Amino acid sequence: MTAITTRAVGSSPTRIEGTAKVTGAARYSTEQDHLGDVAYLWPVPATIAKGRVEAVDSDAVAGLPGVLAVLTPDNAPRLETPDDAELAVLQDHEVSYRGQFVAAVVATSLETAREAAASLHITYAEVPHDSELTENHPKLSKPEKVNPAFPTDTEDGDVDAALAAAAVTVDATYRTPPVHNNPMEPHASLAVWLGHELTLYDSLQGAFAAQQALAKLFALPPASVHVINEHVGGGFGSKGTVRLGAVLAAMAAREVGRPVKVVLGRQHMFTVVGYRTPTIQRVRLGADADGQLTAIEHAAIEQTSTVLEFAEQTTVATRIMYAAGSRRTSHRLAALDVPTPRWMRAPGECPGMFALESAMDELAVATGVDPVEIRIRNEPDVEPESGKPFSSRNLVACLREGAERFGWAARDPRPGVRRDGRWLVGTGVAASTYPSYVGPSTASAAAEPGGGFVVRISAADIGTGARTVLTQIAADALRVRVEEVRVEIGDSSFGQAALAGGSMGTASWGWAVTRAGERLRAALDEHGGDGRLEVHVDTAEEVKARTGFAYHAFGAQYAEARVDLDTGEVRVPRLLGVFGVGRIVNPRTARSQLIGGMTMGLSMALHEEGVLDPAFGDYVNHDFAGYHVAAAADVADIDAVWVDEQDEHVNPLGVKGIGEIGIVGTAAAVANAVFHATGVRVRDLPIRLDKLLGGLPG
Amino acid sequence: MKPFRYARPGGVAEAVRSGAEQPGSRFLAGGTNLVDLMKLGVERPDLVVDVGGLGLDEIVVDSGGGLRIGANVRNSDLAVHPAVRRELPMLSQALLSGASGQLRNQATAAGNLLQRTRCVYFQDVSKPCNKREPGSGCPARQGDHRNLAVLGGSAACIATHPSDFAVALAAADAEVAVTGPAGERTLRLDELYLLPGEHPERETSLAPGDLITAIVVPPLPFGTTSAYRKVRDRASYAFAVASVAAAIDVTDGVVRDVRIALGAVAPKPWRAHRAEDALRGLEPTASAFRAAVEAELSVAEPLPDNAFKLPLTANVVVSVLSDLTGASR
Amino acid sequence: MQLSVNGQSRDLELDNRTTLLDALREHLGLIGSKKGCDHGQCGACTVLLDGRRTNACLVLAVTCAGREVATIEGLAGPDGLHPVQQAFVEHDGFQCGYCTPGQIMSAVGMLEEFERGWPSAVTGEVQPAGLTAPEIRERMSGNLCRCGAYVGILAALTDVASRS
């Protein structure tokens, strides 16, 4: 691949939609005001965890003033069978988890829809449910593959023999709780039918995939479905594919003959849109006395629902992180009567690296080797399981740069000995990694009659800065200033494109935008520059040809933790991430995104837990008062920097995704720092005061 | 939210009359809890009597240092009042540790006292709750009770009172002035709040139409030596998992008087009389503080997931009193 | 009823149940105030009510007669962005932008509270000496940001505070 000479790429323009967002002018999903009278739909969640809907007493609410329709499993329009079984909403009478939508009310006002939905009487035939994941759950089985298509189990060498012979071993079980994506904008859909043409305004990480899914569900040609996601209020994986609110909106809008809005309540966000599965992970490490790994075993237990199988790839990072003589990884899955878990920011790597990087810290303690040094000692030359060379890998550089910046050298390894008044103080480190995926995308570029250029791609800016960085990339490809380029995104009619997920947006869209810009520039050069030229590109062939290397980003995170001796309250005054993530297109937005991931990682470390009540089968703390995410007061000095990394193999721009790596390793760095501060090893997240209180020195 | 009639009375008497005549009416002031609960379907009033326009929003500091706080005084106005900051720091600290800047601007003093528990079962109408639906059962003992009561609960209910402000008021021996259909009266906080017993649906001794018009805080000469400490799962914008309001008077090397109230451990702000009695006349040492609070907590009935509140509360009491007295630890 | 929003009186026919937030978003087309939780637990709906920052989701619109509502739409002046808005852009104090109008309105209210000498939970003295980082963090904790833009928000508000 040839390198591109850049000008705009690497500079730090502020966000293109910045003014729109700070003035409240940016319109998200349903915030459209040109559609006339819209109706409002409010869903009815099941109040049992398993069974059947026997009857819905629609008549009692159907006659209320303002109620336009009551959708139930009995009367809801039939849909084609979706690929995603969660989208078959109201298509049968089964209840597979508490909170699953079993009916919906459409009304002329939000207040009426909501009250009517609340008063709708539903009779259930309830059967016993089983919602609690346990280590020896009888339903645990081996999924065929793990998300998206990784082998379920891998084995390399004789782990048992290596463990038996190891000078030092670590054998520990780590637990991560259910964690909920909770983007600040709830899932929201506004559907409008014009004849047999459906327009959907929605909060989605990918409009094109949504268009395809809806076309299939409603048996329409894809061209008859138009999906618009101009601004998206966060997603973190939960808006990766279209969710059931869109289906309800489309269904209802056709039933009542007017546009219908479906905006989920925050409480619904804990059930029907996905979340991170809880995990129970056993890690066994074997090493020689110097901390050189001879064996790694990582076995993950996780859950899915009975609606569909989602098997998170919890241990895949262990397959690529460290050199070791032997290695075994596995995943076991129990299909329980619980809401369906799906993707959440760095699915797999995030919980998996909490376990592996905590275990590495335990190995450092057990061997007396410095936690930074022990990772450097186990740096592999090639990707351990595949034997492929890395397209680039700068974990060691990140560890060293971080150690230098953080002041690691003076660290006393003894736990529980540093006090500042009534605070215990400690520091910890952990590694980060995330794959550098890329997906095929199409894009178009055109010279505009009045001057300037427009580039169109069905990308989504969920807060990543995609609109801004694609403009920079397009300007360079066109060899013009960024002010001359307008990038339009968030519209399925722009054609197939990768979704804003898997940290592959900039790599995938940037590739297509680069090719579109280059081709338009060549055409303009050939045709003399004026006239109405438009080019279309598709990177499918090029993307398919990317092979031969292992493509991953790496990083190191350093944390300082302070623990109150009286209360066990934890504060994290410093968190530093150093990343090797290829070329940085926009340092301003890149830094924000990395820090944002680390902030969510801090939140995971200290706060986040969906609390299951097994008697009911749902997450009982389903709001922002009960489910804590980090607030401003929890976030002190967090910074992210990167090492210079030129990767000519990963993609033409040399970029690696940065949306997810920031959350990978943070929780382990914090847990390791808490151990260093207190001597208490917390192996089950979140690290709350009650887990520390009993173990603190008096 | 159920449809309701909305009334804006012209005076206290009219408000009281409206409230007394219409069963199922609710007084609305700041609304930060009532509107929240109406959206959840927990509160379903037929009539909402908006008392926000009745004035009742003055803070009067009397010459002895006592306070008369109008029922409608916003939490933020009270918290930042210079006299409160100086004379009764625990009151200001309790208010400022509660909720958020926005909520404190909206929420009123009386409303704060009458806010309802944040027990997850109480707030979810799809689940049983003896407080919300008497006789329906309490899933909390077997379920999520990490932040529920270790003191003062009953078989029927272990909900905790969520207020910070009320804890500091309890320590300050505050009273509420109430106007009801039968006229005016004052209630001490321990008369206002009821323990759940067999009737967790009855949280206060207020009858329909009873309107709190003011909170009266008597002078506390050693109030300047007071503090409120709140422990929570997030550094801000979270309910307490344990809290302590305390004021102490050490004269000639002994504890002459002390006030201790505990939050997030009981269905009402928990005045620690036992601990106070144990401390009077003793030298103010960390070990004396610990023995005193342990005496208070000896009657606790913890459950598996909230037992941590006992050592936590004890530590916080020792910490607060040590800080106030300069006792070494 | 009449609702005064950003200095303009607006006539509205509203259900008693309609919150100020829904009145703004669904009846007046003022979508800048966001609904993140609808229960006062996130701050995305923050507006100034009679000059004070308030969660619009917990205010019944019917109680707002005769009161003045200020929303994000009215913040920028004829000369351009308000300094807080400008600082949010420059310091990248947002990512997805959904909590941003609430953050900004909250910040405007917060700065005004500080000017009046209001202490916060982290103020040791009777009145705060300066708008330090811990002060800003504590005072802005009623506005959740899931993207994790707190670092940028702090930088933005530190910048604004240092200039005023």
- State the DSSP code for C58: G
Full 3-state SS string of B210-229:
CEEEEEEECCCCCCCCEEEE
What is d(CA A70, CA A76) in angstroms, rounded to the nearest whole number? 9
Residue B263 within any structural domain of the chain = yes
Residue ranges making up the domain that contains B260: 226-325
Helix/strand/coil for A514: helix
Query: Count of domains in chain B?
Result: 1
Q: Which amino acid is at A560?
A: E
Whether A410 and chain B come into contact, CB under 8 Å, resolves to no
ipTM above 0.90, yes or no: yes
Q: What is the pLDDT of residue A5?
A: 61
Q: Does the reported pTM lie above 0.95?
A: yes
**What is the distance in angstroms between the Cα of C66 and the nearest Cα belonging to chain A?**
24
A660 neighbors A235 (Cβ within 8 angstroms): no
pLDDT at residue A263 above 70? yes
Contact C97 A14 (CB under 8 A): no
Chains near B with 3+ CB pairs less than 8 A apart are A, C
Residue B60 within any structural domain of the chain = no
Q: How far out from the chain centre does Cα C24 lie?
A: 14
Task: Write out pLDDT tens, residues B51-97.
Answer: 999 999 999 999 888 999 999 999 999 999 999 999 999 999 999 99
Which residue is it, tokens 């940001």?
C145
Percent of chain A with pLDDT over 90: 96
Q: What is the pLDDT of residue A531?
A: 62
* Residue among B232, B237, B316 minimizing CB distance to A566: B316
Contact C18 A233 (CB under 8 A): no
Specify the CATH class of A440-544 in words.
Answer: alpha beta
Please list the alpha-helical segments (H only) found in chain B: 12-21, 34-40, 75-79, 82-87, 89-96, 101-106, 109-113, 120-123, 165-171, 189-192, 273-279, 286-297, 309-325
Report phi then psi at A640, rounded to 5.
-135, 135
Identify the closest residue of chain A to C154 by CA–CA distance: A632
A120: Cβ contacts below 8 Å, ≥ 6 apart: A44, A56, A57, A58, A60, A61, A70, A103, A105
Using an 8 Å CB-CB cutoff, list chain A residues near C62.
Answer: none
B318: domain CATH number is 3.30.390.50
Contact B31 C59 (CB under 8 A): yes
Whether B146 and chain A come into contact, CB under 8 Å, resolves to yes
Q: What is the pLDDT of residue A547?
A: 94
pLDDT at residue A528 above 80? no
What is d(CA B17, CA B51) in angstroms, rounded to the nearest whole number? 12
**What is the distance in angstroms between the Cα of A580 and the nearest Cα belonging to chain B?**
32
* Residue among A109, A236, A463 minimizing CB distance to C97: A463
What is d(CA A462, CA A504) in angstroms, rounded to the nearest whole number? 13
Q: What is the pLDDT of residue A663?
A: 98
pLDDT: which is higher, B37 or A34:
B37
What residues does each domain of chain A span?
39-128+183-265, 140-179+275-436+549-695, 440-544
Q: What is the pLDDT of residue A257?
A: 97
pLDDT at residue A2 above 50? no
Q: Can you tell me the mean pLDDT for C5-26? A: 97
A640 neighbors A595 (Cβ within 8 angstroms): yes
Element of type H or E holding A512:
helix A505-527
**What is the distance in angstroms between the Cα of A405 and the nearest Cα belonging to chain B?**
27
Confidence tier at A1 by pLDDT (50, 70, 90): very low
Contact A24 C149 (CB under 8 A): no
Kindly tell me the sign of the dihedral angle through the C-alpha atoms of A252, A256, A259, A264: negative
Using an 8 Å CB-CB cutoff, list chain C residues near A31.
Answer: 25, 31
- Quick one: tokens of C110? 């917060």
Which residue is it, tokens 């001879």?
A294
Task: Write out pLDDT tens, residues A324-362.
Answer: 999 999 999 999 999 999 999 999 999 999 999 999 999
* Residue among C62, C118, C140 minimizing CB distance to B80: C118
**What is the distance in angstroms between the Cα of B301 and the nearest Cα belonging to chain C?**
31
Q: B residues 92-111 near C, CB within 8 Å?
A: 92-93, 96-97, 99-103, 105-106
Q: Is the previous residue joined to A183 through a cis bond, with omega within 30 degrees of 0?
A: no
Q: How far out from the chain centre does Cα B110 lie?
A: 10
Q: Is the previous residue joined to A415 through a cis bond, with omega within 30 degrees of 0?
A: no
Q: What is the pLDDT of residue B245?
A: 98
Whether A567 and chain B come into contact, CB under 8 Å, resolves to yes
Q: Which of A566, A609, A638, A693 to mutate against chain B (most B CBs within 10 Å)?
A: A566
Give CB contacts under 8 A, 24+ apart, made by B121-124: B121/A620, B122/B42, B122/B159, B123/B37, B123/B40, B123/B42, B124/A620, B124/B40
CA atoms within 13 A on the CB side of C83: 12
Contact B311 A114 (CB under 8 A): no
Contact B4 C39 (CB under 8 A): no
Q: Which amino acid is at A143?
A: P
What is d(CA A445, CA A443) in angstroms, rounded to the nearest whole number? 7
Q: CA angle, A505 as apex, A504 and A506 as ends, to 5°?
A: 100
Helix, strand, coil % (nearest 5) of chain C? 40, 15, 50
Element of type H or E holding B243:
strand B240-251
* Domain A39-128+183-265 matches domain A440-544 at the CATH topology level: yes
Contact B97 C38 (CB under 8 A): no
Q: What is the pLDDT of residue A530?
A: 59
Of the options 3.90.1150.10, 3.30.365.10, 3.40.50.800, 3.30.930.10, the CATH number for the domain spanning A140-179+275-436+549-695: 3.30.365.10
Q: Can you tell me the mean pLDDT for A245-270? A: 98
pLDDT at residue A120 above 70? yes
**What is the distance in angstroms between the Cα of A63 and the nearest Cα belonging to chain B?**
16
Contact C54 B105 (CB under 8 A): yes
pLDDT: which is higher, A259 or A4:
A259
Residue B316 within any structural domain of the chain = yes
Q: What is the pLDDT of residue B65?
A: 87
pLDDT at residue A4 above 60? no
A246 neighbors A273 (Cβ within 8 angstroms): no
Q: Average pLDDT, whole number, for chain A?
A: 97
Whether A630 and chain B come into contact, CB under 8 Å, resolves to yes
C124: Cβ contacts below 8 Å, ≥ 6 apart: none
pLDDT at residue A498 above 50? yes
Give yes or no: A660 in active site.
Answer: yes
Residue B245 within any structural domain of the chain = yes
What is d(CA B2, CA B63) in angstroms, rounded to the nearest whole number? 47
Using an 8 Å CB-CB cutoff, list chain A residues near B313.
Answer: none
Q: CA angle, A401 as apex, A396 and A403 as ends, to 5°?
A: 95
Give the residue from A452, A621, A346, A351 showing the smallest Cα distance to B121.
A621
DSSP string, A525-561: HHHTS-S--EEEEE-HHHHHT--SSB-EEEEEEEEEE
* Residue among C15, C63, C127 minimizing CB distance to B50: C63
**What is the distance in angstroms between the Cα of A566 and the nearest Cα belonging to chain B?**
5
* Residue among C17, C109, C121 minimizing CB distance to B97: C121
* Residue among B2, B142, B237 minimizing CB distance to A631: B237
Confidence tier at A133 by pLDDT (50, 70, 90): very high
Q: What is the pLDDT of residue A111?
A: 98
Using an 8 Å CB-CB cutoff, list chain B residues near C142.
Answer: 99-103, 237
Q: Can you tell me the mean pLDDT for A479-491? A: 97
Give the burial string for A276-285 (b: 16+ CB within 10 Å, else e): bbbbbbbbbb
Bridge partner list, A29: none
- Quick one: tokens of A97? 């988890």
Q: What is the pLDDT of residue A97?
A: 98
Of the options 3.30.365.10, 3.40.1190.20, 3.90.1150.10, 2.60.120.260, the CATH number for the domain spanning A39-128+183-265: 3.30.365.10
A183 neighbors A197 (Cβ within 8 angstroms): no
Q: Can you tell me the mean pLDDT for A28-40? A: 94
Residue B230 within any structural domain of the chain = yes
Using an 8 Å CB-CB cutoff, list chain C residues near A18.
Answer: 88-89
Residue B165 within any structural domain of the chain = no
- Quick one: tokens of C69? 């509502």
pLDDT at residue A598 above 50? yes
Whether B99 and chain A come into contact, CB under 8 Å, resolves to no
